[in-house]
Amino acid sequence: MVNKILGLLGISAKAGKIVSGTDIVLENISKQKIKLVVIAKDSAQRTINNFKFECEKQKIPILIYGTIEENSKAIGKFNRAVIGLKDEKLAEAIKKEISAEVE
């Protein structure tokens, strides 16, 4: 399952349907362009709390998944704790895979 979720993040990155990094994701959240936020579970607690607040305010789903290293590698970037997906269908596919993993 992990490879499938990271694969979907990689596909999203190649398709240009993501933004990554705290500042740019927050900016896109305020512009209501983000459909799903993925935060690495080893992110700073302050970062997680800030994004939970912003996502709740804008009614954007948020998932805490993977590590910074795993998520960054999946999207072809370095040291990215926060990823924002801009495509609804890809966001739904990732949410579906994560919920299937939990069951």
CA dihedral 62, 49, 29, 78 (to 10 degrees): -80
Q: What is the pTM of this model?
A: 0.92
Segment 40-84, tens digit of pLDDT:
999 999 999 999 999 999 999 999 999 999 999 999 999 999 999
Give the domain ranges of the chain.
2-89
When pLDDT is cut at 50, 70 and 90, the band that residue 100 belongs to is confident
DSSP string, 5-74: HHHHHHHHHHTT-EEESHHHHHHHHHTT--SEEEE-TTS-HHHHHHHHHHHHHHT--EEE-S-HHHHHHH
Left (φ > 0), alpha (ψ -120 to 50) or beta: where does 76 sit? left
When pLDDT is cut at 50, 70 and 90, the band that residue 103 belongs to is low
CATH class of the region 2-89: alpha beta
